Structures are given as C-alpha cells and as structure tokens.
Amino acid sequence: MSSIENMLRDALISALKKMDMEVSSLPQIDLSKSKQKGHGDLASNIALMLASQKKENPRALAESIIQHLELPDDVSKVDVAGPGFINFTFHPNVHYQTLRQVLKEGSNYGRSDWGKGQKTQVEFVSANPTGPLTIGHGRQAVLGDTVSRLLEATGHDVTREYYFNDAGRQMRVLGESVQLRFQELIGESVDFPDDYYQGDYIVEIARKGLEEKSETFKDDEDLIYFRNLAETEIFDLIKSTLVRLGIHFDVFFNEKSLYESGKIKAVLQTLRDKDLAYDQDGAVWFRTTKFGMEQDRVIVKSTGEPTYRLPDIAYHKEKMDRGFDRIIDIFGADHIATYPDVLAGMQALGYDSSKVQVLIHQFVTLTEGKEKMKMSTRKANFVTLDELMDEVGEDVTRYFFLNRSMSSHLNFDLTLAKTQSDENPVYYVQYAHARICSILRKAEEQGIPVDSDPDLSLLQTPEEMDLIKTLREFPSIVTEATRQFEPHRLPGYLEELATVYHRFQHGGRQDESLRVLTSDIEIAQARLALCRATQIVLANGLKILGISRPEKM
RNA sequence: GCCCCCGUAGCUCAGUUGGAUAGAGCAUCGGAUUUCUAAUCCGAGGGUCACAGGUUCGAAUCCUGUCGGGGGUACCA
C-alpha cells in the first residue's frame, strides 16, 4: 500500500480535528479508487458518512472539510462531487513513480509479506480414489490451488494437503466392482449390481489385474488385492490429472493412519473424560448442543463404526498439533452441514477454532445443450477433467473455474465450453502478454537501446495514464483477493488490464506518433518501459492463476 | 417443516464493509485493417437488479415475507 493513501487519511483526520469533530467516534475513512473517469484518482465518502451521523448536509460538510484540509504535495487537486464525495487527483509524478516501482520490483511486484511466518494449510480435492477426477472436482482443485498461490504471493508458508479414506464402504464396493469385472474377463458369468461402479475405467483396472493374476476365488484376500489394485491405479490417474492442471500436493493424508496411531480413540476418550461424549441407544454421541447446536450428534454408530465426524475431528486436531497458524478447508456445498461439528470438536478439545477457515463453493451443474446431467461417479455419467482438458486445454480449464465467485453455482455447458474455447477471455489476456513480447522483440531488432531510466514524464496521453493507473491497482487486488479468499477478482482485473493495454497499443494503428516504436526515440523508450511494466503485471497475475504466459500466439 | 447458497441484459457472470448514470464477456447490429500480432479497437441496441413491503440523505447490496433453482437437515461422506 503506497503511503499516499495514509497521508491523505492523516490529512483528513487533522482537518476534522480542526473542525472540532470527535475523531474517536469517526467512521473508518474510506479511500477508494474512483469508479469513473473524471472523478480523480481517489474518492472519499467521509462527508457522507459523517452527515448521516450528524444529520447535516453532506455537500456542505464536504466543502468545509476541504477548506480545513492541508493537501499532501502529491495531490494536485481536490473537489466535491455528487452527493458529497471528495475526489482527489494525484500529481502525475505519483504515477510515474508507480511505473518505476513496477519495473524495479519485477516478478516481485504485487507480492507482499503480510502473511510472513504464517504456517498455513490448505486442504482441498480430498476425493476418495474411487474414480477419475470429474469437472465437479475440477472446480475445487483449481480454487484450492489458486487460493494457495495467492497465500504464497502474500508471504504465507503454504502446505497443500489431500485427505482421503481408503478403508470405507465406498472402497469395498470399488474393490468388488473390479473383482466382478475381472471374473467377466476370465469368462465367468456374473451379475453386476446397478449400484456398483459402472465406469469403463473399472474394466481397464480389471484388465491390468489380468496381467499378474489368472484366477480369483472371491475370498477376502482377493478382495483386498482388487481393492488395492484399484486404489493405486486410480490414484495414479488422479495425480497425473492434477499434475496436468499444475497442481502439486505436499501431503496426501490417509484417514487410516488416524486409526493406526490411536488418535481416533484418544479423541473419543478425551471427549468422554470431559463429559462431552456419552452412550445412548448403543451409539456414542457428541454433545454438540454444548456448542450451540440444536441436537447432539452420533460419532460412533451402534455397529461400532465411527461416523465421519470422529475422524474429521481427529484429523483437524492433527492439523492443529502440526502447528499451523491457519487451516483452510475447501468444501463443496454438500459439506456445508458438517464443518460446524468439526469446529465444535476443536473447541471441545481446547483448540482455537477460529484458526480454521472453511470455504464453501457451490456446485457445478453440467448441461449439454439443454440436457441437465447429474454427475455421479458411481453411475459413470460424468465428464472427466482430462476429457475437458483434451477438449479446451489446461489454461482454459483453469480460467473457466476461476472466473466466477465460489458462492455462485457454476453452470457448465459442455457444448458452449467447446465452441467458446476460441472466445475464452483467457486468450484475450494471454494475447496482450504475447503482443508485448512481440513489440519488445521488435524494438530489439530495430536496435532501440534499452534505457534503464527513461523520461517517463513523456507519457501523457489518456491511454498511457489509464494504463499506469491500472498497473497501480495490482498489489491491492492481490491482497484483497487473498484476504477475502476470492480468487475470481484476479481474472477480472487482468481482463481489465488487457483491455486498457490493447486500447493503448491500438492507438498506434491510426497515428504514427502514438506508436510505441515511434520515431522519437525518447518517447519510444518511455513507452517501452510502460510495455515492460504491463508485461510484468500480466505475467505476475497469470502466474498466480497458474496459467501460462505465452510469448507468441 | 427448519437451516445455508443463489436469483442482475437473450446467454454466462461481475458489482469491494450501503454511495455518483447498475457493468463486462458472449450473442446481435454498424464501423475501423497495405497491423509495432484483427486472438485487436470504436460505436449501438438490450435492465421492473425474481416479487412485495421496510430501514435512510441514499438499497442490486441491510431487515421481513412470497415465489423459483441448488444443497443440507442420517447411526452416508
């Protein structure tokens, strides 16, 4: 955050003091970028806020504030507009200074260290290995990875973690599904139940099994064999899909290890000791009502098998014990009811549950033309992430999932996605980057010397100034996107930046004097510096999104 | 029944803790090119911000209710 905002804030406060205002009861002074051109560089609604508090006319109040205001040197103009906004216009030097900063910081521009030293864990995907990753998983995978990248860009120490369970009923059914397909392959006639895994990939795995096994006896040992085979094969598949998407996990955490290390039992015992767990109807209940919930919840079924809550709580305790300062869980909307139990569990065990931040994203609904499809791994009516990437490419896939806010349903029209791949805004952004690379190459070919300290004050056209002002926003876009966990702000910003750049460069088509490589060498050098700065910001932004930065298109 | 998310242009979606004339892309229509990459630019049309009340200087945004879509409300995860 550049200090000009702070200087203005201080100036406003001292102006208000002069007016005998109660500074302590002041609403927070909001200084935000003016929404429209002609309204200056920053706008404050302080007069409007105070007017409502004091029941005074906001415009008159704004005028009065201005009269008492001592402007910092870098602010060249101040005026009152609309219902009572105070608009500030910067001296152009502020903008040239921004440009120098971008060029100096290079790939660090936009990065910050406000998360310095914060050990942060991000858990996402966490799909059990029962089938290939689908478009539904894709949204979470890309969101989780990008949230992680944002956290890294703001200085956090991030661990990406994938939690899975290979011991449950799902996995048993999976193993049996493979076994049945195997029996078919060796010529036995089998009855394949409707609610078993229908996908072709099951047959593929069974075929793999045929390479090392020639018969099956339907005993437990066989079942374990097929279950394990399925798990390794499917996990390989999942990992290769993730690699393709540019996602690397630091830790794959197996739920089973919580049982083996006795941590599940220990949690249960602790809850019992604290009288937060009790027996009833043959099951063990967790007193969630103690933590403000409507009813208690079962944590161990009467069969003796824990419900998902118990291992989830034990897992989060494990995370806490590993010393993370922040724990971020990314879940689909179907898990919305489960996390309060986990948070209650943390409180019950004496941990600070505010360290856990749960991000819920809405579902992907898949349509093909007008058909609405309900995705189900079991029934094998899904589109895999790999198929999507084959069709539209990795960059489009990532962008598609990132361009929308988590809280809105993502309507995925397959036919549209295919035809739209040419029109996808990601190309628009990448093209701006490629165009800059091209122009820089051209400058080199023409032998224009690189001036490390060009006269930036030669940049004066509205297009040039717009571009610089847009570059100036980047760091706060990154920090806000991180703070609010809203990755979609970044693609929106990059599209805006690309637009402003394209407009700038387009000007040169009609008018030679507006070209970057214009005959006036000094102007050319100043514009080349502007191009380099834009390239830096586009590249830094795309990198955070995990999208490639082509030098040619 | 109760709880959570969503409802904004023909379509897909933005809209910063309540602020200035509600925006963008796609689609449609009209213009610009012997290009520093037309994967570009400029312009036009297109809106009862689901509906009805309320809060106030000001509401797409906050509150209440209704309708519609999705998800939950398990001794499934």
Q: Residue A121 class from Cβ within 10 Å (0-12 exposed, 13-18 middle, 19+ buried)?
A: buried
Q: What is the DSSP letter of A248?
A: -
User: E strand or H helix at A502, and its extent?
Assistant: helix A489-510
Residue A72 CA and nucleotide B71 C1' are separated, in Å, by 52
Residue A52 CA and nucleotide B55 C1' are separated, in Å, by 14
Nucleotide nearest to A333 (CA to C1'): B71
Which pLDDT score is estimated for A27? 59
In chain A, list all ranges with CATH 1.10.730.10. Answer: 421-545
Residue A307, helix vs strand vs coil? coil
Assigned fold of A3-90: Gyrase A; domain 2 (3.30.1360)
Nucleotide nearest to A518 (CA to C1'): B36
Nucleotide nearest to A283 (CA to C1'): B75
CA neighbor of A28 nearest in space, from A7, A4, A12: A12
Tell me which residues of chain A have a pLDDT lower than 70: 1-2, 21-28, 35-38, 55, 368-374
Which pLDDT score is estimated for A1? 43
* pLDDT tens readout for residues A111-168: 999 999 899 999 999 999 999 998 889 999 999 999 999 999 999 999 999 999 888 7
Distance of CA A347 to CAs A149, A288, A495, Å?
Answer: 29, 10, 43
Percent of chain A with pLDDT over 90: 63
Residue A417 CA and nucleotide B29 C1' are separated, in Å, by 25
The values of phi and psi at residue A430, to 5°, are -65, -35
Which pLDDT score is estimated for A19? 79
Kindly write down the DSSP assignment for every residue of A389-420, as one continuous string.
HHHH-HHHHHHHHHSS-TTSPEEEEHHHHHHH
In this structure, is the dihedral angle defined by the CA atoms of residues A342, A346, A348 and A353, taken in order, positive or negative?
negative
Residue A412 CA and nucleotide B12 C1' are separated, in Å, by 9
Which pLDDT score is estimated for A372? 65
Residue A494 CA and nucleotide B6 C1' are separated, in Å, by 26
**8 Å CB contact between A349 and A299:** no
In chain A, list all ranges with CATH 3.30.1360.70. Answer: 3-90
Which pLDDT score is estimated for A212? 87
Which pLDDT score is estimated for A157? 97
Q: Residue A360 class from Cβ within 10 Å (0-12 exposed, 13-18 middle, 19+ buried)?
A: middle
Residue nearest to nucleotide B2 (CA to C1'): A294
Indicate the length of chain A as a whole number: 553
Q: Interior CA angle at A29 toward A25 and A32, to 5°? A: 165
- Which of these CATH numbers, 3.40.309.10, 1.10.10.10, 1.10.730.10, 1.10.3720.10, describes A421-545? 1.10.730.10
Kindly write down the DSSP assignment for every residue of A62-116, as one continuous string.
HHHHHHH----TTEEEEEEETTTEEEEEE-HHHHHHHHHHHHHHGGGTT---TTT
CB atoms within 10 A of CB A469: 18
CA neighbor of A153 nearest in space, from A109, A194, A119: A109
Which pLDDT score is estimated for A382? 79
Q: Which residues are within 8 A (CB) of A65 and not within 5 positions of it... i.e. 6 or more apart?
A: A12, A15, A16, A19, A46, A47, A86
Which pLDDT score is estimated for A391? 87
Nucleotide nearest to A44 (CA to C1'): B19
Q: Which nucleotides of B are covered by protein (CB under 7 A)?
A: 4-7, 11-17, 19-21, 24-27, 32-33, 35-42, 56-58, 69-77
Q: Which residues are within 8 A (CB) of A457 and not within 5 positions of it... i.e. 6 or more apart?
A: A92, A93, A96
Residue A335 CA and nucleotide B71 C1' are separated, in Å, by 9
Threshold 0.90, pTM exceeds = yes
Residue A506 CA and nucleotide B13 C1' are separated, in Å, by 27
Residue A330 CA and nucleotide B49 C1' are separated, in Å, by 30
Q: For residue A536, how far is the Cα from the chain centroid?
A: 21
ipTM: 0.94
Nucleotide nearest to A516 (CA to C1'): B36
Nucleotide nearest to A168 (CA to C1'): B77
Q: At what angle do helices A521-545 and A489-510 cross, to 10 degrees?
A: 160
Give the whole-angstrom CA distance, residue A117 versus residue A104: 25
Question: A364-368 and A410-413 as β-strands: parallel, antiparallel, unpaired?
Answer: parallel
Longest dimension (CA), chain A: 93
In this structure, is the dihedral angle defined by the CA atoms of residues A227, A231, A234 and A237, taken in order, positive or negative?
negative
Give the whole-angstrom CA distance, residue A492 versus residue A286: 44
